[in-house]
């Protein structure tokens, strides 16, 4: 039996499925919205060969894909025979709540006739009766804000996971190419001596030990890292207490190849916290 989580998110249009999907994405799930359900076994096979879905896979399936209902039972059975235990969550909400949500967003219901949303809701309820009856979990989002719904779903689905674990993305970048727009914390290390001006180091990157040794041995670099470690030791518990599950720390130098990469690699090897999941990316390392 596979230990990989497979979460299927379904239910009425406007009931909060997208909010639920984002909540799982924040927990590290690989999420696909509006996946043709017949492709789920193929997606699971591909996931076995890679680490991009190590935490789990979540797919949103609903009546936007009209073949969904005809394929549903057969695909779920195939997934079970492949050794997975699919967790099907059905999202529901009162008619008046769904009507209000559509009115606020001015979207059209996928099954409405002549912009009559109520007809679409009734038709969808009828079509999804059996799916609702077979669901592992039913969540009524009627009285919940999007944040409350996301937190509730995350808590239920992620029970047994390390809920306090924070995913920390360590990213190097070059100011020449712009500051990453999704960064939570940005640190500028252009105050350090630039290896670009040392001929034998110029072709290297911060992933090369000799260049990294040059950067890290600088007295100002060691002092900076000590301050940064203390700052992160202070901040990470506070972010976690506020419910943040994903934090991007961006380190920048001029070109994003030397100093910033060295600092990120050092942080990765000596990160000042154990209860986090670290991810590393070097955005501009391959650029000239």
DSSP 274: S
287 within a domain of the structure (yes/no):
no
Domain residues for the domain of 217 are 166-282
278 within a domain of the structure (yes/no):
yes
Query: What pLDDT shows up at residue 195?
Result: 96
Note whether 145 and 194 are same-domain residues. Answer: no
Task: Please count the structural domains in the chain.
Answer: 2
Note whether 142 and 184 are same-domain residues. Answer: no
Domain boundary (157, 177, 206) is at 157
Distance of CA 155 to the CA centre of its chain: 16
For 215-271, give the DSSP string: HHTSHHHHHHHHHHHHHHHHHHHHHHHTT--EEEEEEEESSSSSHHHHHHHHHHHT-
Q: Give 109-114's long-range contacts (Cβ < 8 A, gap of 24+).
A: 109/13, 109/14, 110/13, 110/62, 110/63, 110/64, 111/13, 111/63
Q: Strands 166-174 and 276-282, how do they pair?
A: parallel
Distance of CA 152 to the CA centre of its chain: 17
If one counts every other C-beta atom within 10 angstroms of the C-beta of residue 108, the result is: 12
288 within a domain of the structure (yes/no):
no
Query: What pLDDT shows up at residue 117?
Result: 77
94 within a domain of the structure (yes/no):
yes
146 within a domain of the structure (yes/no):
yes
pLDDT digits (tens, 9 = 90+) for 166-199: 778 898 999 998 888 668 899 999 999 999 999 9
Note whether 88 and 118 are same-domain residues. Answer: yes
Query: What pLDDT shows up at residue 94?
Result: 85
Query: What pLDDT shows up at residue 167?
Result: 76
Query: What pLDDT shows up at residue 281?
Result: 85
Q: Which residues pair with 31 in a beta bridge?
A: 58
Note whether 131 and 211 are same-domain residues. Answer: no
Q: How many CA atoms lie within 13 A of 177 on its CB side?
A: 16
95 within a domain of the structure (yes/no):
yes
Instruction: Give the helix, strand, coil percentages of the chain, each rounded to 5.
Output: 45, 20, 35
Could you tell me the mean pLDDT of each successive run of 10 residues in the chain, 288 residues long?
80 91 88 88 82 78 79 89 88 87 73 73 87 84 83 72 66 89 89 95 96 96 96 92 79 96 96 83 85
Q: Say whether 5 sits in a helix, a strand or coil.
A: strand
Ramachandran sector of residue 23 (left: φ over 0; alpha: ψ -120 to 50; beta: rest): alpha
Note whether 242 and 267 are same-domain residues. Answer: yes
Note whether 177 and 271 are same-domain residues. Answer: yes
Instruction: Indicate the pTM of the whole model.
Output: 0.54
């Amino acid at each position: 039996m596979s230990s990989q989580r497979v979460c299927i998110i379904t239910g009425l249009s406007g009931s909060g499925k997208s909010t639920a999907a984002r909540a799982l994405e924040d927990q590290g799930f690989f999420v696909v919205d509006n996946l043709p359900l017949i492709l789920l076994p193929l997606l699971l096979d591909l996931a076995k060969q890679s680490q991009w879905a190590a935490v789990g896979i979540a797919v949103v399936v609903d009546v936007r894909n009209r073949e969904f209902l005809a394929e549903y039972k057969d695909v779920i059975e195939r997934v079970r025979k492949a050794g997975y235990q699919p967790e099907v969550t059905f999202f529901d909400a009162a008619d008046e709540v769904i009507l209000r949500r559509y009115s606020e967003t001015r979207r059209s219901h996928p099954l409405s006739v002549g912009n009559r949303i109520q007809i679409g809701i009734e038709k969808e309820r009828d079509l999804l009766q059996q799916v609702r009856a077979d669901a592992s979990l039913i969540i009524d989002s009627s009285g919940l804000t999007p944040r409350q719904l996301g937190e509730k779903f995350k808590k239920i689905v992620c029970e047994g996971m390390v809920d306090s674990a924070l995913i920390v993305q360590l990213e190097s970048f070059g100011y020449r190419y712009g500051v990453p727009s999704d960064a939570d914390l940005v640190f500028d290390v252009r105050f350090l001596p630039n290896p670009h001006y040392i001929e034998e180091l110029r072709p290297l990157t911060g992933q090369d030990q000799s260049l990294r040794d040059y950067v890290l041995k600088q007295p100002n670099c060691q002092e900076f890292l000590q301050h940064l470690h203390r700052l992160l030791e202070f901040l990470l518990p506070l972010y976690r207490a506020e419910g943040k599950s994903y934090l991007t720390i961006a380190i920048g130098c001029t070109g994003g190849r030397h100093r910033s990469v060295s600092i990120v690699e050092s942080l990765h090897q000596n990160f000042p916290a154990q209860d986090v999941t670290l991810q590393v990316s070097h955005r501009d390392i391959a650029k000239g």
